[in-house]
Structure 1
Amino acid sequence: MPVSRIRLRLAFGFAMAFAVGTGLLAAGGLAFMARESTRRFDARLDGIGAGVISAVGREYAETPDSSFAVVAGDVAAEWPENGGAFLLLDASGTLAARRDPDGASQRVFNVVPANRAARFDVDRGGPDLRGRVIDTTIVVTGDAATAMHTFRIVTFGSTEGIEADTELLLGAIAVGVPLTLLASLLVGYLLAGRAMEPVRSLSQDIAAIAPSDLSRRLLPQYDGDELGALAAEFDALMIRLDEAQQRNRQFVREAAHQIRTPLTLVLGEAALALDAGTDSRTDAPDAERLRSSLARVRTAAEQMRRRVDELFLLAEARAGEVVRLEERVELDSLVLECTDLMRARASGTGHALAIGDAEPVTVLGNAALLQEALLELIENACRHGLPTAPITVSCRVVKGEGAQTSEAQLEVCNDGPPFSDAAMCDVKAQAHDRGLGLSIVRWVAVSHHGRVELLHDADRSIVRIVRIVLPACKG
């Protein structure tokens, strides 16, 4: 199994945290041990000093008339072998007696006169030593008089034992911390593997989702923690992909439906022209029949071109394409232009095309898209309207909801079957026989911060009105 980098990172983080904790604990233990060893060593020196004072007092009690030098010599001579080392100095600082099993008294004596501290260290000329200075006075009552004897006791000893213990602990730490780091790295890698098990499960569940089935969801299996948040985000992504897939499928179905009819007509007219385009008596092409077939082929090709343009516009609309609104478009000129362009198309479907109101009004928008929207409305009226009344194209200005605002209206009116309830509620609801026009018109209107209104005037026979309402420019 390949080494997981994320598990290594987790294990390394765990090992480093454990090693830092262990190092801090070891450093604290080392400092505590050094301080405690020094405290015990100082307490032993204090105990030796107290014993020496007691011994001097006993000697003076036995021989009160003796000099300090004699008493000090007796104390040093009678001191036990393992009782520690010390110096006895009289009031003038002269060495009176010593107890020095290790021969370090001279080094200590050289430091004491210049050292006024109660405790001191000797770290030159041999093993490290630590000493304690005690100044004391003993009152001795003799047969004739009472005398006061002031003297100094200097107890000392080697600190090699403390240093040896410290070095031993340092060596143990130096060896133990790397070993602990390696052990915690291994254990952390294993624990990270168990912790990453839900991630592997999530990865397997994601891999099991087939492109043809985007309806599967990961929640609530992973709900409630960080993986739950990740699963929720993935589910949201799957919902968006599923919706996009559905839109693509719908788009393909609509494209196939819109192109199939004119393409069938082109193929049929071409086959008819090939089969019956020759006069059997003269073996010459029947020019009139060919011209008629080519005219129908041209009409069907124009329909196909228009359907392709519609499909591209619809694809942009469903992709959420942002429309740049930078032109001042005169809607009255747009009505005149589109009516002129569609006059032949209306005549071909048996409709009369007329201009109703043509009030001068300007909007801020995209001239090409507004032209396409108006052409779509006229095309829709030509395809689905009845030739009982002319198709009327109008533009006008009306007051908006606010007192200072006005709205521009582009309107196409014709006779025809009423709009369905779905189309009345939502222009995006399209049946295949309505084409793609209203979807494109609605996208253009919404992109221009406007709306589309579908109306049916029952009082005037069967009159259908499709209206684009846009915000008009001021001035």
Structure 2
Amino acid sequence: MKTGIATWWARRSLRLRLTAAAALVTAAGLAGAAVLLVNWLQTSLISSLDQTAVQRAQVIAAAVETGKLTTTLPASAEGDTAIQVVDSTGTVRASSTNLEGEPRLFTFTATTSGDPQARTVRGLPLGDDGTWRTVAIPAGRSPDPVTVYVAVSTATVDRSMTQLTAALATTVPIVVALLTAVAWLLTGRALRPVDTLRAQASAITACDLSRRLDVPPAHDELGRLASTLNDLLGRLDAATRQQRQFIADAAHELRSPLSSLLTQLEVAVRHPESAHWHTLAPDLVEESERLARLVDDLVQLARLDARPRLRHQPVDLDEIVFAAVRRARQQSHLAIDEHAVTAARVNGDADALSRVVRNLLDNATRYATSRIDVRLGVIGGAAYLVIADDGPGIPEPDRQRVFDRFTRLDDARARDAGGSGLGLAIVRDIVTAHHGSAHVEDNAPGARIVVRLPSTAADHP
């Protein structure tokens, strides 16, 4: 049952829920204030009656002390005061005119120390069954002490409290209703920009992410929300454009080896008598390998874009570098110097870091003239991997752009040497995922690519 009510309430509009909450808080606050007001006022009026009774009793006690007490004492014109003076035997010595001839009506004893304490008494023979606030004060001297009882009716206070309670019971709901209506209007006005933002956001489609939401002029929560949503739309727009460009570039890159393979195969099929498969096979294998490398790079980038959970465990980066150098030597006639490789341990994914080193060596092998230098060391808590070649180098304006996908430079490094234009992009994405960085420096001649990765403290000697 509670779950059903909670579900029903959660489906209501935000405006209704805010207004209802405001109404409940207002009603509780006003009701609590009304109760406190009634209690405070009643206590104050009763205290005033008690003071009146005490003062009247003190006056009569003074008359007893001076011997000026008469048997009949005047009562108030409204008849809301009753007085009896009783001796130690219980005999009424004097009383007010409205209690004349009545026996003793008050039986509690007077306190001899401290201020007199008033008590509530009912059932006095004065025509109604109301309550009276009564005080008792001792008077006279031994051997003839007396007790002065003065009672003041609470009828006036009771009538005032009844009228006040009725007025509050009528006024509080009206005030709550008016404040609820005001809260409904103000909430609707406050949420109007939210509805505007919602309508604008619903009109934005995946085909047109260049549109933005109108930011309210006030620098409040709604303004910050609109700005944040615009930033989100900007990032989505940039990501979508990047994805579309990536798809277009990938299609363009795939078209070249596929077209070459298809052309050679079609010629061989149409003219089998002139086809020399022993001469075509190396070209077909080369194009197939190029296509395989491109597909592998595309798959790797797709996985990185999906932000997979890379393994984070201690990895000996120097062992990865030595293994990659051995592989590069088997595939190239270039001189590769790894004597400057020292021990370095990082926390990361061994397979991904192996891909980084292989891509850097493949890139250096592709453009080097005769030599590749590999260095690895730990400096200031970071592992630095440096792979330098003696090729044409990379112009300074392009040293950041080479890490973009499908980058083609205008210098000698733009020559097609079998690369896909994705190797350094994969390096940057993997290094970034390991909280590192990569940049290009001048090797004079050639280029030097520096990779920085956070090192662990357990570097082995």
Normalised by the size of structure 2, how large is the TM-score?
A: 0.70
Structure 2 CA distance, aligned partners of 1:394 and 1:112?
112
For 1:428, the equivalent position in structure 2 comes to 403
Pick closer, same or farther for the CA change 1:437–1:38 going to 2, 3 Å: closer
Deviation, 1:221, is 3.0
Structure 1 CA distance, aligned partners of 2:82 and 2:315?
107
Pick closer, same or farther for the CA change 1:208–1:107 going to 2, 3 Å: farther
Deviation, 1:265, is 0.9
For 1:439, the equivalent position in structure 2 comes to 425
Pick closer, same or farther for the CA change 1:181–1:9 going to 2, 3 Å: same
Higher mean Cα deviation, 311-320 or 328-337?
311-320
Amino acid of the residue matched to residue 262 of structure 1?
Answer: P
For 2:225, the equivalent position in structure 1 comes to 230
1:170-199 deviations in Å (ceiling 9; x for gaps):
455456545654554444333322222222
For 2:84, the equivalent position in structure 1 comes to 87
Structure 2 CA distance, aligned partners of 1:54 and 1:443?
103
Structure 1 CA distance, aligned partners of 2:51 and 2:26?
37
Structure 1 CA distance, aligned partners of 2:88 and 2:235?
99
For 1:310, the equivalent position in structure 2 comes to 297
1:30-54 deviations in Å (ceiling 9; x for gaps):
1343234335545665686699799
For 1:38, the equivalent position in structure 2 comes to 46
Structure 2 CA distance, aligned partners of 1:467 and 1:29?
80
Match of 1:299 among 286, 291, 294: 286
SS in 2 for 1:196: helix
SS in 2 for 1:108: coil
Pick the structure with greater CA Rg: 1
Amino acid of the residue matched to residue 289 of structure 2?
Answer: E
Amino acid of the residue matched to residue 33 of structure 2?
Answer: L
Q: Is 1:5 matched with 2:13? A: yes
SS in 2 for 1:419: coil
Paired residues of 2:304 and 2:429 also in contact (CA < 8 A): yes
Amino acid of the residue matched to residue 122 of structure 1?
Answer: V
Pick closer, same or farther for the CA change 1:106–1:114 going to 2, 3 Å: farther
Structure 2 CA distance, aligned partners of 1:267 and 1:104?
134
SS in 1 for 2:133: strand
Q: Is 1:15 matched with 2:10? A: no
RMSD: 4.6
Amino acid of the residue matched to residue 224 of structure 1?
Answer: H
Deviation, 1:261, is 0.7
SS in 1 for 2:295: helix
Pick closer, same or farther for the CA change 1:33–1:453 going to 2, 3 Å: closer
Superposition pairs for residues 276-295 of structure 1, below 5 Å? 276-277=271-272, 279=273, 288-295=275-282
For 2:3, the equivalent position in structure 1 comes to none
Structure 2 CA distance, aligned partners of 1:312 and 1:381?
22
Q: Is 1:355 matched with 2:335? A: yes
Deviation, 1:217, is 4.3
Pick closer, same or farther for the CA change 1:173–1:441 going to 2, 3 Å: closer
Normalised by the size of structure 1, how large is the TM-score?
A: 0.69
Pick closer, same or farther for the CA change 1:54–1:91 going to 2, 3 Å: same
SS in 1 for 2:216: coil
Match of 1:336 among 315, 326, 337: 326
Paired residues of 1:93 and 1:113 also in contact (CA < 8 A): no
Amino acid of the residue matched to residue 397 of structure 2?
Answer: A
Paired residues of 1:409 and 1:467 also in contact (CA < 8 A): yes
Pick closer, same or farther for the CA change 1:108–1:159 going to 2, 3 Å: farther
Superposition pairs for residues 115-154 of structure 1, below 5 Å? 117=116, 119-123=118-122, 127-133=130-136, 153-154=148-149
Match of 1:263 among 244, 251, 258: 258
SS in 2 for 1:155: strand
Amino acid of the residue matched to residue 158 of structure 2?
Answer: E
Paired residues of 2:384 and 2:451 also in contact (CA < 8 A): yes
Deviation, 1:10, is 1.9
Counting aligned pairs with the same residue, the percent is 24
Pick closer, same or farther for the CA change 1:114–1:47 going to 2, 3 Å: closer
1:237-291 deviations in Å (ceiling 9; x for gaps):
23332332233233223212221111111221222122222x3xxxxxx5x5345
Pick closer, same or farther for the CA change 1:151–1:456 going to 2, 3 Å: closer
Paired residues of 1:317 and 1:443 also in contact (CA < 8 A): yes
Amino acid of the residue matched to residue 129 of structure 1?
Answer: W
Structure 2 CA distance, aligned partners of 1:128 and 1:14?
41
Superposition pairs for residues 30-429 of structure 1, below 5 Å? 30-39=38-47, 41-42=49-50, 45=53, 71-72=70-71, 75=72, 82=78, 84-89=81-86, 94-99=91-96, 101=98, 105-106=102-103, 108-109=105-106, 111=107, 117=116, 119-123=118-122, 127-133=130-136, 153-174=148-169, 177=172, 180-182=175-177, 184-218=179-213, 220-277=215-272, 279=273, 288-317=275-304, 322=310, 324=312, 326-328=314-316, 329=319, 331-340=321-330, 342=331, 353-359=333-339, 361=341, 363-364=344-345, 368-369=351-352, 372-373=355-356, 376=359, 380=363, 391-395=370-374, 409-414=386-391, 419-424=394-399, 426-429=401-404
1:292-318 deviations in Å (ceiling 9; x for gaps):
445433322221110011223334555
1:325-352 deviations in Å (ceiling 9; x for gaps):
6443253443232332x35xxxxxxxxx
Higher mean Cα deviation, 211-220 or 294-303?
211-220
Paired residues of 2:436 and 2:452 also in contact (CA < 8 A): yes
Paired residues of 1:441 and 1:452 also in contact (CA < 8 A): no
Pick closer, same or farther for the CA change 1:4–1:374 going to 2, 3 Å: closer
Amino acid of the residue matched to residue 95 of structure 1?
Answer: V
SS in 2 for 1:26: helix
Pick closer, same or farther for the CA change 1:162–1:89 going to 2, 3 Å: same
1:359-409 deviations in Å (ceiling 9; x for gaps):
384554666556545654565577667xxx6x5445456x7767x999654
Structure 1 CA distance, aligned partners of 2:236 and 2:186?
36
